[in-house]
Amino acid sequence: MFSDSELQLIQYEFSDISSIYLNTAYFGPIPKRTQKIIELATKRAADPSFYSMEEWLSIPDQTRESIATLLGCLPKNIMHSTSTGDIVALIGRSLNRAKNERVALIDEEYPSNVLPWMFLKDKKEITLDILPKTPIVDIEYLEKHLDKKTTILNISYISFKSGRKINLLEIGPYLKRKNITLILDATQAFGSLGISKQELSYVDAFVCSTYKWLLSPYGHSFAYLSDDFLTHLESEKISWINSDSFVNCQELTKYSTKLITGAVRFDRGQSPNMLNMRGVLSSITLLSELGLDKIESYNKSLVNHFCDKFDSKNFSLEVPREFLANIISLKSKSGDLKNVIEKLNQNNIDVSVREGSLRISLHFFNTVKQVDKILEILEIL
Ligand SMILES: Cc1ncc(COP(=O)(O)O)c(C=O)c1O
C-alpha cells in the first residue's frame, strides 16, 4: 500500500479533479506534473528559436525507454503510433500475404480490435471468426470455439465492457502450443497493472493506447512487438525518420528505402509529437515512481471493497469478481440506466454506460470513501 508521502503526492497530482471521478476507462486524468510539462512544451513551440535537433528528435526514444522499463522489455521492441486501431491495422497489413491468416476475436471486443480485421476480411485477405461472448476466457472455452486453423487471437487484456481480465499464465502456454499468435490490447489494463516477464513471453504484440490508465494526453499509443513476431512483419511504408540513411538534417537527400531495424521501424511519421509525447513521458514517470505492483494491489483493494459491500437488488456483476482488476461493470436488472446516471451525476459521480452496463473504473487516485459513496447511491436506488 502507499506510504503517507505517496498518498500526499497522489492527492496533489490529481487535485484538479472536480468530481468523484470513477471513469478512467473513458479518459485518464493527466497529473499536475504532466500539465506543467505540456505548458512548457507549448511555450517552446511558441518560441522555437535555436531548436536543436536533439532537443526534439530524442523524445520518442526517451519515451520508448520509459515504456520499456515499465513493461520489462528492451526499447528496440517498442514502436510509437497514434491509436490501438492504427497499430492493429498496421499489423494486419504487414502480415505475410502468402500465409492464409485465420483471425479469431471474441464478440463484444472493442472496435479497434475488430474493424481492421473486418476490413481485411471484406477484401478477402484473411478469414475471420467472431467467437461467442463469454464472461470467462479459459482453455475450455478456447478449445471449444477456436477453429483448428486459427493463426491469430486478438483479445483485450481487460475488457472495456465487462472488466473481465484474462489469465495470461493459463491461456498463454495453450496458444503457444497451438502456434497461435497473441495480439493483446492492454489499453484498459496497463498502468493499472503491470505484466510479468513470464506473461509477456506469451504475447506477440502488446498494444496500448496511453490516454486511459497511463494517464497521458490523448493521441498516442505504443506496441511491444516480440523479436519473433517482428520477423513475420513486412513494412509497407517508410517515413524519413525511419530510413537508415537518416543521420542529420545535413544529409537528408542521401535517400535510402532501407528501414532501421527493430520495432522502431514502424514508428508513425512525426513520432516526435512534442506537445503530446512530453506529456506521455511525464505521466509514465509518476507511474514508475509509485510502482505498478503497488498500484495494482491498491486498485484491486478498491474493487474488493466494492464487491464485499455490494449487495443490490437492482444490479448484478457482469463477470465473477475474481476476474476483475480495475473496472466493475454492473447489469441493471430493470435494464434502465437513465435514472441511475442522473442520480449519480446529481451526486457529482462520473461513470460511463457501455453497451447497457454501468461501468465503474477505479484507479489509484480514487479512495475507499468514494467507493462507499457510489455504493450508498446504488443501494438507495
Ligand atoms: C479496449 C480498448 N482498446 C482501445 C481503445 C482505444 O482505441 P483507439 O486507440 O483505437 O482509439 C479503447 C477505448 O475505449 C478500449 O477500451
Distance 163 CA to ligand 1 centre (A): 13
Q: What is the distance in A from the centroid of ligand 1 to the CA of 311?
A: 31
Residue 210 CA, ligand 1 centroid: distance in Å: 9
The pLDDT of 196-224, averaged and rounded, is 98
Average pLDDT, the chain: 95
pTM of the predicted model as reported, rounded to 2 decimal places: 0.97
Give the pLDDT confidence score for residue 252 in this predicted structure. 87
How many Å lie between the centroid of ligand 1 and the Cα of residue 5? 33
Give the model's confidence band at 246: pLDDT under 50 very low, under 70 low, under 90 confident, else very high.
Answer: confident
Position 248 confidence tier, pLDDT thresholds 50, 70, 90: confident
Task: Indicate whether 362 pLDDT > 70.
Answer: yes
Segment 204-232 shows an average pLDDT of 98
Of all protein residues, whose CA lies closest to atom 14 belonging to ligand 1? 26
Give, for ligand 1, the residue of 188, 208, 353, 361 to mutate: max count of ligand atoms closer than 8 Å to Cβ: 188
188 Cα nearest atom in ligand 1: 1
Residue whose Cα lies nearest atom 7 of ligand 1: it is 84
Tell me, what's the pLDDT at 381?
Answer: 63
Binding-site residues, ligand 1, Cβ < 6 A: 83-85, 110, 112, 156, 160, 185, 187-188, 209, 221
pLDDT(269) > 80:
yes
Residue 245 has pLDDT above 90, yes or no: no
Q: Report the CATH fold assignment for 53-288.
A: Aspartate Aminotransferase; domain 2 (3.40.640)
Q: For residue 230, what pLDDT band results from cuts at 50, 70 and 90?
A: very high
Q: Say how many Å lie between the CA of residue 79 and the centre of ligand 1.
A: 17
- pLDDT tens digits along 85-119: 999 999 999 997 667 899 999 999 999 999 999 99
Superfamily per CATH, domain 4-30+291-380: Aspartate Aminotransferase, domain 1 (3.90.1150.10)
CA 208 – ligand 1 centroid, Å: 8
- Residue 111 CA, ligand 1 centroid: distance in Å: 8
For residue 187, how far is its CA from the centre of ligand 1 (angstroms)? 6
For ligand 1, atom 16, name the residue with the nearest CA.
160
Mean pLDDT of 16-38: 98
Residue ranges per structural domain of the chain: 4-30+291-380, 53-288
What CA–CA distances, in Å, run from 95 to 90, 109, 229, 319?
A: 9, 21, 10, 34
Ligand 1 centroid to Cα of residue 3, in Å, is 32
With the most atoms of ligand 1 within 8 angstroms of its CB, the residue from 117, 166, 187, 190 to mutate is 187
pLDDT attached to residue 335: 77
Cα 186 to averaged position of ligand 1 atoms, centre (Å): 9
Ligand 1 atom nearest 83 alpha carbon: 9
Q: Which atom of ligand 1 is nearest to the CA of 156?
A: 1
Q: Determine the distance separating the centroid of ligand 1 and the alpha carbon of 178, expressed in angstroms.
A: 28
Percent of the chain with pLDDT over 70: 99
Provide the terminal-to-terminal Cα distance of the chain, rounded to the nearest Å.
33
Residue with the smallest CA separation from ligand 1 atom 9 is 83
Q: Which atom of ligand 1 is nearest to the CA of 88?
A: 10
- Which is the closest atom of ligand 1 to the Cα of 158? 1
By CB atoms closer than 10 A (0-12, 13-18, 19+), residue 278 is: buried
Pocket test for ligand 1, best of 112, 154, 164 (most atoms within 8 A of CB): 112
pLDDT tens profile 147-203: 999 999 999 999 999 999 999 999 999 999 999 999 999 999 999 999 999 999 999
Residue 312 clears pLDDT 90, i.e. is over it: no
